[in-house]
Amino acid sequence: MKQYMVIEQFKADCTEAVYERLGRKGRMLPPGLHFVNSWKNKELGICYQLMETSDFRLFSVWTQHWDDLIEFDIVPVDGSSQSQKMLIR
């Protein structure tokens, strides 16, 4: 399973709508795409989510539920312990 940092930039004047939909419908993740943790900036306009999946294509299924309110940047990441192992080899 690979990890990804999802950077969500809420579209202008959509923050309230994002949280309203989240409250009504949850994250709406397809099976196989797993939420790990999230962080928000102080202004609540950007959300950083760590997610895991073995199938990158699941992101397009998930983002279709939100792309009217949010712009997404999805970046593959490695934990620091994985990076250290690669450097030590």
Total-model pTM: 0.84
Q: What is the pLDDT of residues 34-71, one digit of tens each?
A: 999 999 999 889 999 999 999 999 999 999 999 999 99
Query: Which tens digit of pLDDT belongs to each residue from 24-38?
Result: 999 999 999 999 999
Residue 57, phi then psi, degrees to nearest 5: -60, -20
Instruction: Give me the pLDDT at residue 3, please.
Output: 97
pLDDT bin (cut points 50, 70, 90) of residue 5 is very high
Domains and CATH numbers, the chain: 2-88 (3.30.70.1060)
